[in-house]
Amino acid sequence: MIDVAKMSQETKACINACLDCHELCKKMVSHCLHQGGAHAEPGHVEIMLDCSEICQISAHFMLRGSPLLRRTCEVCAEVCDRCASECDRFDDERTNMCAEVCRACAEACRDASPVARAA
């Protein structure tokens, strides 16, 4: 387990971004299923579930100081980018917010990735 007090600012920011993205994508699944239509398409729901899960895993890997952290951050950034692109297909406030949170998480993961390489 990593000493959180000694964690870099990039890593702390990435953990917070991942947890925020995890929570929002998880909530968005329910929203999209209730919206129906294109919002409820399997591919759209699946990428949000993937995004939610990889964000949670990445945050946990950072908190534990996993030796696989760098690779997890890279995959997390890729999945978040894909989720943001998918959410950009829709023109409503909630999916726009989801896309923004996903992009912020992807950027935080890319910022933390060099830190993870040094770990």
Distance CA 7, CA 82 (A): 28
The pLDDT confidence band at residue 112, using thresholds 50, 70 and 90, is confident
Identify the CA nearest to 115 among candidates 41, 36, 61.
61
pLDDT digits (tens, 9 = 90+) for 55-102: 999 999 999 999 999 999 999 999 999 999 999 999 889 999 999 999
- At residue 89, φ and ψ (nearest 5 deg) are -65, -25
The pLDDT confidence band at residue 5, using thresholds 50, 70 and 90, is low
Domains detected in the chain = 4-118 (1.20.1270.360)
Tell me: pLDDT of 117 over 80.
no
Task: Supply the pLDDT for residue 119.
Answer: 44
- At residue 45, φ and ψ (nearest 5 deg) are -65, -40
Its pTM stands at 0.90
Tell which wins on pLDDT, 40 or 91. 40
